[in-house]
Structure 1
Amino acid sequence: MYNLALDFGNTAIKYGFFEAESLRKSGTIGQEQELALLPEITQIDNVIISSVRENIGKLSALSEVKGITITLNYQTPIPVKNGYETPQTLGMDRLAAVIGAKALYPDKDCLVIDAGTCITYDFVDNQHYYHGGSIAPGLEMKFKAVHTFTQKLPLVEQTSGPVKLTGRNTREAIQSGILNGTLAEVQGIINVYKEQAPKLVVVLCGGDAAFFETNLKQHIFVVPELVLIGLNRILNYNV
Protein backbone atom coordinates (compact mmCIF):
# COMPACT_ATOMS: atom_id res chain seq x y z
CA MET A 1 0.00 0.00 0.00
CA TYR A 2 1.41 3.38 -1.03
CA ASN A 3 0.45 6.60 0.71
CA LEU A 4 1.10 10.21 -0.21
CA ALA A 5 1.32 12.87 2.51
CA LEU A 6 1.10 16.51 1.45
CA ASP A 7 1.87 19.47 3.68
CA PHE A 8 0.77 22.73 2.04
CA GLY A 9 2.66 25.67 3.51
CA ASN A 10 2.31 29.33 2.63
CA THR A 11 4.95 29.22 -0.12
CA ALA A 12 5.76 25.57 -0.81
CA ILE A 13 4.36 22.05 -0.69
CA LYS A 14 6.20 19.26 1.10
CA TYR A 15 5.45 15.72 0.00
CA GLY A 16 6.26 12.26 1.24
CA PHE A 17 5.69 8.87 -0.41
CA PHE A 18 5.23 6.05 2.10
CA GLU A 19 5.00 2.31 1.85
CA ALA A 20 3.05 1.36 4.98
CA GLU A 21 5.03 3.22 7.72
CA SER A 22 8.27 3.60 5.75
CA LEU A 23 9.12 6.89 4.08
CA ARG A 24 10.41 6.10 0.59
CA LYS A 25 10.83 9.59 -0.85
CA SER A 26 10.24 13.17 0.22
CA GLY A 27 10.80 16.61 -1.19
CA THR A 28 9.42 20.07 -1.82
CA ILE A 29 7.62 21.52 -4.82
CA GLY A 30 6.37 25.01 -5.54
CA GLN A 31 3.12 24.42 -7.40
CA GLU A 32 0.30 21.88 -7.23
CA GLN A 33 0.78 21.07 -10.92
CA GLU A 34 4.26 19.70 -10.22
CA LEU A 35 2.71 16.72 -8.45
CA ALA A 36 1.80 15.23 -11.81
CA LEU A 37 5.50 15.18 -12.74
CA LEU A 38 6.44 12.86 -9.89
CA PRO A 39 6.72 9.31 -11.25
CA GLU A 40 5.52 7.79 -7.97
CA ILE A 41 2.15 9.54 -8.27
CA THR A 42 0.65 6.71 -10.35
CA GLN A 43 1.31 4.18 -7.56
CA ILE A 44 -0.64 6.03 -4.86
CA ASP A 45 -3.42 4.24 -3.00
CA ASN A 46 -4.29 6.85 -0.34
CA VAL A 47 -3.65 10.55 0.24
CA ILE A 48 -3.67 12.88 3.23
CA ILE A 49 -3.44 16.66 2.94
CA SER A 50 -2.62 19.25 5.59
CA SER A 51 -2.82 22.89 4.58
CA VAL A 52 -2.47 26.37 6.03
CA ARG A 53 -4.04 27.78 2.86
CA GLU A 54 -7.66 28.84 2.69
CA ASN A 55 -8.50 26.80 -0.41
CA ILE A 56 -6.32 24.39 -2.35
CA GLY A 57 -9.02 23.22 -4.75
CA LYS A 58 -9.18 19.82 -6.37
CA LEU A 59 -5.80 18.33 -7.23
CA SER A 60 -6.05 16.90 -10.74
CA ALA A 61 -2.89 14.82 -10.24
CA LEU A 62 -4.75 12.80 -7.60
CA SER A 63 -7.86 12.05 -9.64
CA GLU A 64 -6.87 8.38 -10.06
CA VAL A 65 -6.26 7.66 -6.36
CA LYS A 66 -7.65 4.19 -5.64
CA GLY A 67 -8.35 4.52 -1.94
CA ILE A 68 -9.22 7.43 0.34
CA THR A 69 -8.25 11.09 0.35
CA ILE A 70 -8.26 12.91 3.70
CA THR A 71 -7.99 16.65 4.19
CA LEU A 72 -6.87 16.86 7.80
CA ASN A 73 -9.05 18.92 10.15
CA TYR A 74 -9.87 18.93 13.85
CA GLN A 75 -12.63 16.33 13.34
CA THR A 76 -10.37 13.76 11.66
CA PRO A 77 -9.87 10.65 13.87
CA ILE A 78 -6.31 10.61 15.21
CA PRO A 79 -4.26 8.10 17.24
CA VAL A 80 -3.75 10.42 20.23
CA LYS A 81 -6.12 12.02 22.72
CA ASN A 82 -6.32 15.72 21.92
CA GLY A 83 -6.53 17.79 25.10
CA TYR A 84 -6.40 21.16 23.33
CA GLU A 85 -9.35 23.27 24.52
CA THR A 86 -9.98 24.78 21.09
CA PRO A 87 -9.08 22.01 18.60
CA GLN A 88 -10.62 23.96 15.74
CA THR A 89 -7.92 26.64 16.15
CA LEU A 90 -4.99 24.23 16.43
CA GLY A 91 -2.64 24.24 13.45
CA MET A 92 -2.80 20.90 11.69
CA ASP A 93 0.97 20.92 11.17
CA ARG A 94 1.42 21.10 14.95
CA LEU A 95 -0.94 18.18 15.44
CA ALA A 96 0.75 16.13 12.72
CA ALA A 97 4.20 16.80 14.21
CA VAL A 98 3.02 15.56 17.62
CA ILE A 99 1.65 12.37 16.07
CA GLY A 100 4.89 11.97 14.13
CA ALA A 101 6.81 12.10 17.40
CA LYS A 102 4.57 9.42 18.91
CA ALA A 103 5.11 7.25 15.83
CA LEU A 104 8.85 7.40 16.48
CA TYR A 105 8.82 7.36 20.29
CA PRO A 106 5.52 5.72 21.31
CA ASP A 107 6.45 5.06 24.95
CA LYS A 108 8.10 8.39 25.71
CA ASP A 109 7.04 11.82 26.90
CA CYS A 110 7.81 14.05 23.91
CA LEU A 111 8.36 17.77 23.48
CA VAL A 112 8.02 18.69 19.82
CA ILE A 113 9.70 21.93 18.76
CA ASP A 114 8.94 23.23 15.28
CA ALA A 115 11.43 26.00 14.52
CA GLY A 116 9.94 27.79 11.54
CA THR A 117 8.25 31.16 11.02
CA CYS A 118 7.08 30.73 14.59
CA ILE A 119 8.68 28.45 17.15
CA THR A 120 6.04 26.11 18.52
CA TYR A 121 6.37 23.83 21.52
CA ASP A 122 3.96 20.90 21.93
CA PHE A 123 3.89 18.32 24.70
CA VAL A 124 2.49 14.81 24.34
CA ASP A 125 2.92 12.31 27.16
CA ASN A 126 3.74 8.61 27.24
CA GLN A 127 0.02 7.81 27.42
CA HIS A 128 -0.53 9.44 24.02
CA TYR A 129 -2.30 12.45 25.55
CA TYR A 130 -1.58 15.76 23.82
CA HIS A 131 -1.61 18.56 26.39
CA GLY A 132 -1.01 21.61 24.15
CA GLY A 133 1.96 23.91 24.04
CA SER A 134 3.10 27.43 23.20
CA ILE A 135 3.84 29.66 20.22
CA ALA A 136 6.64 32.24 20.00
CA PRO A 137 8.16 34.34 17.20
CA GLY A 138 10.74 32.56 15.07
CA LEU A 139 14.22 33.81 14.25
CA GLU A 140 13.43 35.45 10.93
CA MET A 141 10.38 37.14 12.41
CA LYS A 142 12.50 38.59 15.20
CA PHE A 143 15.12 39.96 12.82
CA LYS A 144 12.40 41.62 10.72
CA ALA A 145 10.61 42.99 13.79
CA VAL A 146 13.74 44.69 15.16
CA HIS A 147 14.17 46.50 11.84
CA THR A 148 10.48 47.23 11.18
CA PHE A 149 9.58 48.66 14.57
CA THR A 150 12.62 50.90 15.06
CA GLN A 151 13.84 53.96 13.21
CA LYS A 152 17.53 53.20 12.80
CA LEU A 153 18.25 49.53 13.41
CA PRO A 154 19.15 47.67 10.19
CA LEU A 155 17.71 44.44 8.86
CA VAL A 156 20.33 41.87 9.81
CA GLU A 157 20.58 38.40 8.36
CA GLN A 158 20.86 35.30 10.49
CA THR A 159 24.27 33.69 10.67
CA SER A 160 24.87 29.96 10.72
CA GLY A 161 28.20 30.20 12.52
CA PRO A 162 29.04 30.85 16.18
CA VAL A 163 27.47 33.99 17.62
CA LYS A 164 29.41 36.24 19.95
CA LEU A 165 27.79 36.86 23.29
CA THR A 166 28.96 40.47 23.31
CA GLY A 167 28.44 42.24 20.00
CA ARG A 168 31.04 44.88 19.14
CA ASN A 169 28.90 46.60 16.53
CA THR A 170 25.17 46.98 15.88
CA ARG A 171 24.95 44.03 13.49
CA GLU A 172 26.67 41.71 15.97
CA ALA A 173 24.58 43.08 18.84
CA ILE A 174 21.34 42.28 17.02
CA GLN A 175 22.57 38.82 16.12
CA SER A 176 23.63 38.16 19.69
CA GLY A 177 20.37 39.41 21.16
CA ILE A 178 18.15 37.40 18.84
CA LEU A 179 20.16 34.20 18.39
CA ASN A 180 21.58 33.85 21.90
CA GLY A 181 18.34 35.09 23.40
CA THR A 182 16.29 32.54 21.49
CA LEU A 183 18.71 29.74 22.34
CA ALA A 184 18.32 30.65 26.02
CA GLU A 185 14.55 30.73 25.58
CA VAL A 186 14.40 27.28 23.97
CA GLN A 187 16.89 25.84 26.46
CA GLY A 188 14.88 27.22 29.35
CA ILE A 189 11.59 25.80 28.10
CA ILE A 190 13.17 22.37 27.59
CA ASN A 191 14.55 22.48 31.13
CA VAL A 192 11.15 23.31 32.61
CA TYR A 193 9.49 20.45 30.74
CA LYS A 194 12.25 18.10 31.92
CA GLU A 195 11.40 19.00 35.50
CA GLN A 196 7.90 17.66 34.82
CA ALA A 197 9.01 14.74 32.64
CA PRO A 198 12.62 13.69 33.47
CA LYS A 199 12.82 11.14 30.63
CA LEU A 200 11.58 13.64 28.07
CA VAL A 201 12.50 13.17 24.42
CA VAL A 202 12.95 16.44 22.51
CA VAL A 203 12.19 16.29 18.79
CA LEU A 204 12.92 19.21 16.46
CA CYS A 205 11.71 19.99 12.97
CA GLY A 206 11.32 23.12 10.85
CA GLY A 207 13.59 25.30 8.77
CA ASP A 208 15.77 26.48 11.67
CA ALA A 209 16.08 23.08 13.36
CA ALA A 210 19.70 22.67 12.24
CA PHE A 211 20.70 25.91 14.00
CA PHE A 212 19.27 24.68 17.29
CA GLU A 213 20.74 21.21 16.82
CA THR A 214 24.20 22.78 16.49
CA ASN A 215 23.92 25.26 19.34
CA LEU A 216 21.67 23.77 22.01
CA LYS A 217 23.38 22.09 24.94
CA GLN A 218 20.82 19.31 25.01
CA HIS A 219 20.43 15.83 23.54
CA ILE A 220 17.78 16.31 20.90
CA PHE A 221 16.54 14.53 17.80
CA VAL A 222 16.12 16.47 14.55
CA VAL A 223 13.55 14.91 12.21
CA PRO A 224 12.97 17.13 9.14
CA GLU A 225 10.12 14.92 7.88
CA LEU A 226 8.30 14.82 11.24
CA VAL A 227 5.06 16.41 9.96
CA LEU A 228 4.96 14.05 6.97
CA ILE A 229 5.53 11.04 9.24
CA GLY A 230 2.66 12.19 11.43
CA LEU A 231 0.37 12.71 8.46
CA ASN A 232 1.10 9.21 7.24
CA ARG A 233 0.37 7.76 10.68
CA ILE A 234 -3.01 9.57 10.70
CA LEU A 235 -3.77 8.27 7.22
CA ASN A 236 -2.98 4.67 8.18
CA TYR A 237 -5.13 5.10 11.31
CA ASN A 238 -8.09 5.96 9.06
CA VAL A 239 -7.62 3.42 6.26
Structure 2
Amino acid sequence: MSVLLIDAGNTRIKWRYQGDDGAVHRGGCAHADVAAQQWPAVDRALVASVHDNPGLHRQLHQQFAERLVWLSHPLLDHDHFRHCYSHPERLGVDRWLAMLGARKHSDADLLVVDAGTALTVDFLSSDNQHEGGFIVPGLTLAQQALWQNTERVRPYQDEVASEQLQPGRDTVQCVTAGIRRQQIAFVRSVLDDFTGYVPLFTGGDGEWLAVAMDVPYWPELIFDGLDTLCAGYFSAW
Protein backbone atom coordinates (compact mmCIF):
# COMPACT_ATOMS: atom_id res chain seq x y z
CA MET A 1 0.00 0.00 0.00
CA SER A 2 1.34 3.41 -0.97
CA VAL A 3 1.22 6.12 1.70
CA LEU A 4 2.04 9.80 1.54
CA LEU A 5 3.40 11.02 4.90
CA ILE A 6 2.72 14.68 5.70
CA ASP A 7 4.17 16.60 8.64
CA ALA A 8 2.08 19.76 9.15
CA GLY A 9 4.05 22.04 11.44
CA ASN A 10 3.29 25.51 12.72
CA THR A 11 4.84 27.29 9.74
CA ARG A 12 5.45 24.75 6.97
CA ILE A 13 4.29 21.43 5.59
CA LYS A 14 6.78 18.70 4.72
CA TRP A 15 6.06 15.40 3.03
CA ARG A 16 7.76 12.11 2.24
CA TYR A 17 6.72 9.34 -0.12
CA GLN A 18 8.32 6.12 -1.31
CA GLY A 19 7.57 5.51 -4.96
CA ASP A 20 6.98 2.19 -6.69
CA ASP A 21 10.63 2.22 -7.76
CA GLY A 22 11.73 2.27 -4.12
CA ALA A 23 13.08 5.81 -4.33
CA VAL A 24 12.12 8.20 -1.52
CA HIS A 25 10.70 11.54 -2.63
CA ARG A 26 10.55 14.59 -0.36
CA GLY A 27 9.06 18.04 -0.55
CA GLY A 28 7.68 20.95 1.41
CA CYS A 29 5.64 24.10 1.11
CA ALA A 30 4.00 26.87 3.08
CA HIS A 31 0.48 26.27 4.39
CA ALA A 32 -0.87 28.77 1.87
CA ASP A 33 0.52 26.74 -1.04
CA VAL A 34 -1.09 23.39 -0.20
CA ALA A 35 -3.77 23.65 -2.89
CA ALA A 36 -1.10 24.05 -5.58
CA GLN A 37 0.83 20.91 -4.66
CA GLN A 38 1.00 18.07 -7.16
CA TRP A 39 0.67 15.14 -4.78
CA PRO A 40 1.47 11.61 -5.99
CA ALA A 41 -1.36 9.13 -6.45
CA VAL A 42 -1.45 7.11 -3.20
CA ASP A 43 -3.75 4.76 -1.33
CA ARG A 44 -3.55 6.80 1.87
CA ALA A 45 -2.30 10.21 3.03
CA LEU A 46 -1.28 10.16 6.70
CA VAL A 47 -1.09 13.65 8.19
CA ALA A 48 0.50 14.58 11.52
CA SER A 49 -0.62 18.05 12.58
CA VAL A 50 0.50 19.95 15.68
CA HIS A 51 -2.99 21.48 15.93
CA ASP A 52 -6.44 20.77 14.51
CA ASN A 53 -6.14 23.39 11.72
CA PRO A 54 -9.61 23.01 10.15
CA GLY A 55 -8.64 25.02 7.06
CA LEU A 56 -5.75 22.73 6.19
CA HIS A 57 -7.83 19.68 7.08
CA ARG A 58 -10.53 20.82 4.68
CA GLN A 59 -8.05 21.45 1.85
CA LEU A 60 -6.40 18.06 2.21
CA HIS A 61 -9.76 16.30 2.47
CA GLN A 62 -10.78 17.88 -0.82
CA GLN A 63 -7.70 16.34 -2.42
CA PHE A 64 -7.65 12.93 -0.74
CA ALA A 65 -11.25 12.40 0.51
CA GLU A 66 -11.56 9.04 2.32
CA ARG A 67 -7.86 8.32 1.74
CA LEU A 68 -6.94 11.01 4.30
CA VAL A 69 -5.95 9.94 7.83
CA TRP A 70 -5.62 12.98 10.09
CA LEU A 71 -3.55 12.53 13.25
CA SER A 72 -3.56 15.49 15.66
CA HIS A 73 -3.27 13.58 18.97
CA PRO A 74 -1.16 10.62 20.11
CA LEU A 75 -2.74 7.20 20.03
CA LEU A 76 -3.41 5.95 23.54
CA ASP A 77 -2.88 2.23 22.98
CA HIS A 78 0.28 2.03 20.90
CA ASP A 79 2.52 -0.94 21.76
CA HIS A 80 5.76 1.05 21.50
CA PHE A 81 4.82 3.90 23.83
CA ARG A 82 3.47 4.30 27.35
CA HIS A 83 2.29 7.73 28.43
CA CYS A 84 3.31 9.59 31.56
CA TYR A 85 0.79 12.41 31.05
CA SER A 86 -2.39 12.09 33.12
CA HIS A 87 -4.12 13.53 30.04
CA PRO A 88 -2.21 11.86 27.17
CA GLU A 89 -4.18 13.73 24.52
CA ARG A 90 -2.40 16.91 25.63
CA LEU A 91 0.98 15.62 24.51
CA GLY A 92 1.91 17.16 21.16
CA VAL A 93 1.62 14.66 18.35
CA ASP A 94 4.95 15.86 16.93
CA ARG A 95 6.74 15.04 20.20
CA TRP A 96 5.09 11.62 20.32
CA LEU A 97 6.00 10.77 16.73
CA ALA A 98 9.58 11.98 17.20
CA MET A 99 9.93 9.54 20.10
CA LEU A 100 8.43 6.70 18.06
CA GLY A 101 10.81 7.57 15.24
CA ALA A 102 13.80 7.73 17.57
CA ARG A 103 13.03 4.23 18.80
CA LYS A 104 13.66 2.92 15.27
CA HIS A 105 17.29 4.00 15.59
CA SER A 106 18.21 2.85 19.09
CA ASP A 107 17.04 0.45 21.82
CA ALA A 108 18.64 2.54 24.58
CA ASP A 109 17.18 5.12 26.95
CA LEU A 110 16.62 8.08 24.65
CA LEU A 111 16.69 11.85 24.98
CA VAL A 112 14.83 13.34 21.99
CA VAL A 113 15.54 17.01 21.27
CA ASP A 114 13.15 18.57 18.75
CA ALA A 115 14.16 22.13 17.85
CA GLY A 116 11.31 23.86 16.05
CA THR A 117 8.90 26.64 16.96
CA ALA A 118 9.34 25.30 20.48
CA LEU A 119 12.44 23.50 21.69
CA THR A 120 11.30 20.27 23.33
CA VAL A 121 13.26 17.60 25.16
CA ASP A 122 11.65 14.24 25.91
CA PHE A 123 12.87 11.17 27.75
CA LEU A 124 11.95 7.69 26.54
CA SER A 125 13.13 4.67 28.55
CA SER A 126 14.41 1.52 26.88
CA ASP A 127 11.07 -0.16 27.66
CA ASN A 128 9.16 2.67 25.92
CA GLN A 129 7.97 4.58 28.97
CA HIS A 130 7.76 8.32 28.40
CA GLU A 131 9.48 9.79 31.44
CA GLY A 132 8.59 13.45 30.86
CA GLY A 133 10.37 16.34 29.26
CA PHE A 134 10.98 20.06 28.94
CA ILE A 135 9.54 22.76 26.67
CA VAL A 136 11.13 26.17 26.07
CA PRO A 137 10.74 28.73 23.26
CA GLY A 138 12.57 27.95 20.05
CA LEU A 139 14.84 30.37 18.23
CA THR A 140 12.14 32.32 16.43
CA LEU A 141 9.77 32.50 19.41
CA ALA A 142 12.54 33.71 21.70
CA GLN A 143 13.50 36.44 19.25
CA GLN A 144 9.89 37.51 18.79
CA ALA A 145 9.47 37.80 22.56
CA LEU A 146 12.27 40.36 22.63
CA TRP A 147 11.19 42.25 19.51
CA GLN A 148 7.60 42.54 20.71
CA ASN A 149 8.08 43.23 24.41
CA THR A 150 11.13 45.46 24.75
CA GLU A 151 11.28 49.10 23.72
CA ARG A 152 14.94 49.38 22.74
CA VAL A 153 15.50 45.85 21.45
CA ARG A 154 14.15 45.82 17.93
CA PRO A 155 15.04 44.20 14.57
CA TYR A 156 16.67 47.17 12.85
CA GLN A 157 16.44 46.76 9.09
CA ASP A 158 20.09 47.63 8.46
CA GLU A 159 21.31 44.89 10.80
CA VAL A 160 21.78 41.26 9.75
CA ALA A 161 21.33 38.19 11.93
CA SER A 162 24.37 35.99 12.43
CA GLU A 163 24.81 32.33 13.33
CA GLN A 164 27.99 33.14 15.22
CA LEU A 165 28.19 32.63 18.98
CA GLN A 166 30.57 35.51 19.60
CA PRO A 167 29.34 38.75 21.24
CA GLY A 168 27.20 40.75 18.84
CA ARG A 169 28.15 44.21 17.58
CA ASP A 170 24.64 45.42 16.92
CA THR A 171 21.22 44.66 18.40
CA VAL A 172 20.22 41.90 16.00
CA GLN A 173 23.55 40.09 16.40
CA CYS A 174 23.35 40.42 20.18
CA VAL A 175 19.89 38.86 20.19
CA THR A 176 20.62 36.00 17.79
CA ALA A 177 23.96 35.07 19.39
CA GLY A 178 22.50 35.36 22.90
CA ILE A 179 19.52 33.15 22.13
CA ARG A 180 21.68 30.52 20.44
CA ARG A 181 23.97 30.42 23.46
CA GLN A 182 20.93 30.20 25.71
CA GLN A 183 19.61 27.19 23.80
CA ILE A 184 23.00 25.47 23.81
CA ALA A 185 23.40 26.05 27.54
CA PHE A 186 19.93 24.66 28.25
CA VAL A 187 20.44 21.50 26.21
CA ARG A 188 23.95 20.99 27.55
CA SER A 189 22.66 21.20 31.12
CA VAL A 190 20.11 18.47 30.34
CA LEU A 191 22.76 16.25 28.74
CA ASP A 192 25.05 16.76 31.73
CA ASP A 193 22.30 15.85 34.20
CA PHE A 194 21.02 12.80 32.32
CA THR A 195 24.17 11.09 31.08
CA GLY A 196 22.57 7.66 30.71
CA TYR A 197 20.41 8.74 27.77
CA VAL A 198 21.34 8.64 24.09
CA PRO A 199 20.56 12.05 22.49
CA LEU A 200 18.83 12.30 19.13
CA PHE A 201 18.35 15.80 17.67
CA THR A 202 15.69 16.68 15.12
CA GLY A 203 13.53 19.61 13.99
CA GLY A 204 13.92 22.51 11.59
CA ASP A 205 16.45 24.26 13.87
CA GLY A 206 17.97 21.04 15.10
CA GLU A 207 20.93 20.79 12.74
CA TRP A 208 22.84 23.84 13.98
CA LEU A 209 22.15 22.76 17.56
CA ALA A 210 23.38 19.23 16.90
CA VAL A 211 26.54 20.60 15.30
CA ALA A 212 27.12 22.90 18.27
CA MET A 213 26.64 19.97 20.66
CA ASP A 214 28.73 17.61 18.47
CA VAL A 215 25.98 14.98 18.22
CA PRO A 216 24.26 13.39 15.19
CA TYR A 217 21.29 15.10 13.55
CA TRP A 218 18.21 13.09 12.57
CA PRO A 219 16.07 15.32 10.33
CA GLU A 220 13.17 12.90 9.78
CA LEU A 221 12.26 11.42 13.16
CA ILE A 222 8.60 12.46 12.75
CA PHE A 223 8.44 10.69 9.39
CA ASP A 224 10.13 7.67 10.95
CA GLY A 225 7.41 7.71 13.63
CA LEU A 226 4.74 7.86 10.94
CA ASP A 227 6.41 4.88 9.26
CA THR A 228 6.10 3.00 12.54
CA LEU A 229 2.37 3.68 12.53
CA CYS A 230 2.04 2.51 8.96
CA ALA A 231 3.86 -0.73 9.74
CA GLY A 232 1.89 -1.43 12.90
CA TYR A 233 -1.22 0.35 14.05
CA PHE A 234 -2.53 1.13 10.54
CA SER A 235 -1.44 -2.16 8.96
CA ALA A 236 -5.08 -3.26 8.65
CA TRP A 237 -5.87 -0.53 6.09
Say whether the fold is shared (TM-score over 0.5). Answer: yes
Structure 1 runs of 4+ aligned residues shifted over 6 Å read none
| 1-structure distance, mates of 2:168, 2:70 | 50
| 1:109 and 2:106 are equivalent in the alignment | no
Aligned residue type for 1:132: G
Question: In the alignment, is the contact (CA less than 8 A) between 2:7 and 2:15 conserved in 1?
Answer: yes
Output one character per residue of 1:137-156: Cα deviation in whole Å (capped at 9) or x when no partner.
Answer: 11111122122211111227
Letter in 1 for 2:154: P
- Does the 8 Å CA contact 2:4/2:45 hold for their aligned counterparts? yes
User: Which has the higher mean CA deviation after the structures are superposed, 133-142 or 47-56?
Assistant: 47-56
Indicate conservation of the 8 Å contact 1:16/1:23, yes or no.
no
How far 1:237 moved relative to its partner? 1.2
Alignment CA distance shift 1:102-1:18 (3 Å): farther
Q: Write the distance in 1 (CA, Å) between the matches of 2:208 and 2:175.
A: 17
- Deviation of 1:167 after TM superposition, in Å, equals 4.1
- Worse-matched range after superposition: 69-78 or 180-189: 69-78
Distance in 1 of aligned mates of 2:66 and 2:87: 35
Q: Amino acid of the residue matched to residue 203 of structure 1?
A: L
Separation (CA, whole Å) in 1 of partners of 2:77 and 2:36: 29
* 1:86 corresponds to: 87
* Change in 2 beyond 3 A, CA 1:63/1:173: closer
Distance 1:222 1:23 in 2: 22
Q: Deviations over 1:152-199 (max 9, x none)?
A: 112276422x321x44554443333222122111111122121xx2xx
Q: RMSD of the alignment, in Å?
A: 2.6
Aligned to 2:123: 123
| SS of aligned partner of 1:134 | strand
1:127, 1:120 → 2: CA distance?
21
1:185 paired with 2:186, answer: yes
Secondary structure in 1 aligned to 2:143? helix
Deviation, structure 1 residue 109: 1.2
C-alpha distance in 1 between matches for 2:7 and 2:221: 11
Higher relative contact order (CA 8 A, sep 6+): 1
Contact kept? 1:10, 1:53, Cα under 8 Å: no
Deviations 1:45-93 (A, max 9, x none): 333221123321252332474xx83535334542222222221111101
State how far apart, in whole Å, the 1-side matches of 2:120 and 2:231 are. 25
Q: 1:77 to 1:48 in 2, by over 3 A?
A: farther
Structure 1 residue 212: Cα displacement = 0.7
Distance change >3 Å, CA 159–CA 180, structure 1 → 2 = same
Hey, what's the Cα distance between the residues in 2 that align with 1:28 and 1:167? Answer: 33
The aligned residue for residue 155 of structure 1 is 155
Distance 1:184 1:71 in 2: 33
Cα distance in structure 1, aligned partners of 2:23 and 2:221? 11
TM-score normalised per structure 2: 0.82
Residues 116 and 138, structure 1, Cα contact 8 Å, conserved in 2: yes
Number of the residue aligned with 1:208? 205
Paired residues for 1:3-22 under 5 Å: 3-18=3-18
> How many residues were matched structurally?
223
Is the 1:213–1:222 contact (alpha carbons within 8 Å) kept by the matching residues of 2?
Answer: yes
Secondary structure of the corresponding residue to residue 159 of structure 1: coil
Q: CA deviation at 1:208?
A: 1.1
Secondary structure of 1:83's counterpart equals: coil
CA distance in 2, matches of 1:147, 1:76: 39
Q: TM (normalized to structure 1)?
A: 0.82
Give the partner amino acid of 1:33.
A
Distance 1:76 1:18 in 2: 27
